[in-house]
Amino acid sequence: MALPPAPPRPKREINASALDQIEALGIDIRQDHPLANLTTIKIGGPADYFAAVTDTHKLLKLARWARANDLPYLILGGGSNVLISDRGIRGLVIHNRCHAVQVQDAPCCDYPKDTRPFLFAESGALMAGAARTAVNAGLTGLEWAVSVPGSVGGAVVNNAGAHGGEVKDSLWDVLLLDGNGDIQVFRVEDLAYAYRQSSLKQEGGTDAGFGPVLLSANFRLQTGDRDTIRAAAQSFLGHRRSTQPVEPSLGSTFVNPPGDFAGRLIEESGLKGFRLGGIEVSRTHANFLINPGGVGAAAAADVLAMIQHIQTVVARRSGVELQPELQRIGEW
């Protein structure tokens, strides 16, 4: 399906000397950079400015440079559960590819009676990869996450979960650049966790701005029997492969209502396989919207129209008002 041209987008301009400053630090800034390929749904317009970073020092420098030049920024990790508008994102998109993961012993002097090891992960690491590192080290607590898409940063901000586990269950603390430009350590109890929510999500918002930048996370895990831990992780991974679509998708589209499942409500409303524009309700799992054609085959507007249609049909049939789990970002 051919997409209509996007309406004109006023670009956020920055001067040449500011670009020279950041390029002098070894950071390549691109203009009008396409973003669709960086999302799991393969949809989205361009960023005014774009840079990819692979270490936290450059991530910090880039965020501080953007603040100094009054350039709003947005951190993009694994690109799951995010819908970027067809008109793109005003300001700077920072593609966070800081992916170090390491098992560390507990600091003996801080908690002498607590010998549980830490799993340290930079915020751009894939959550599933971090979980596999823990599993291979014989550590239990993150088996549920071997099937979770997206980055550690996204998982921490959104309190990702699956198979009865959530980030908040094993997270110990996070390191971040706060809204004042200071580097702070926040303990898990400081983050106001709830179902798919945290204070970081509320503060950071879903559009380009000057919010906090998550740098890394420490998970406190238990040692266990390696074979048992691996078997549990493999079971979760197998369940995902057999029950979730392989086509490009957002991940779960709607939050499960109390005592029920969004997928069941959508399926019972007869919407499995329903197509609108380039978007289809997955026949494998009705709570997934898929983009079978990939980049260029569907628009963000198709996704929003599908979401609204599902909400209307489900509410009419069951009386339940489904709430989207995805984050809308960009200029709408």
Q: At how many degrees (to 10) do helices 16-23 and 56-68 cross?
A: 160
Dist. CA 276–CA 307, nearest whole Å: 10
What residue ranges of the chain are covered by domains with CATH 3.30.465.10?
101-229
What is the H or E stretch that residue 306 is in? helix 300-318
As a three-state string, the secondary structure of 109-139 is CCCCCCCCCEEEEECCCEHHHHHHHHHHCCE
Dist. CA 73–CA 63, nearest whole Å: 7
3-state class (DSSP) for residue 315: helix
Q: What pLDDT is recorded for position 112?
A: 58
Q: What pLDDT is recorded for position 108?
A: 55
Q: Which pairs count as long-range contacts for 208-212, CB under 8 Å and 24+ apart, including other chains?
A: 208/72, 208/73, 208/74, 208/89, 208/90, 208/91, 208/92, 208/93, 208/329, 209/72, 209/73, 209/74, 210/66, 210/67, 210/72, 210/73, 210/179, 211/179, 212/176, 212/177, 212/178, 212/179
Q: What pLDDT is recorded for position 1?
A: 44
Is the Cβ–Cβ distance between 31 and 49 less than 8 Å?
yes
Q: What pLDDT is recorded for position 9?
A: 58
Question: Does the domain formed by 246-329 have CATH 3.90.78.10?
Answer: yes
Q: What pLDDT is recorded for position 206?
A: 54
What residue ranges of the chain are covered by domains with CATH 3.90.78.10?
246-329
CATH code, residues 101-229: 3.30.465.10
What residue ranges of the chain are covered by domains with CATH 3.30.43.10?
16-96
Q: Which residue has the tokens 């005592």?
A: 259
Q: What pLDDT is recorded for position 113?
A: 67
Q: What pLDDT is recorded for position 22?
A: 86
Catalytic residue annotation: 196, 252, 325
Q: CB burial class (10 A; 0-12, 13-18, 19+) of residue 289?
A: buried
Per-residue pLDDT of the chain (332 residues; tens, 9 = 90+): 445 545 555 677 788 888 888 888 889 999 999 999 999 999 999 999 999 999 999 999 999 999 999 999 999 999 999 999 999 999 999 999 999 999 998 765 555 567 889 999 999 999 999 999 999 999 999 999 998 989 999 999 999 998 999 999 999 999 999 888 899 999 999 999 998 889 888 654 456 678 889 999 999 999 999 999 999 999 999 998 899 999 999 999 999 999 999 999 999 999 999 999 999 999 999 999 999 999 999 999 999 999 999 999 999 999 999 999 888 998 88
Topology of 16-96 in CATH?
A: 3.30.43
Is the Cβ–Cβ distance between 275 and 183 less than 8 Å?
no
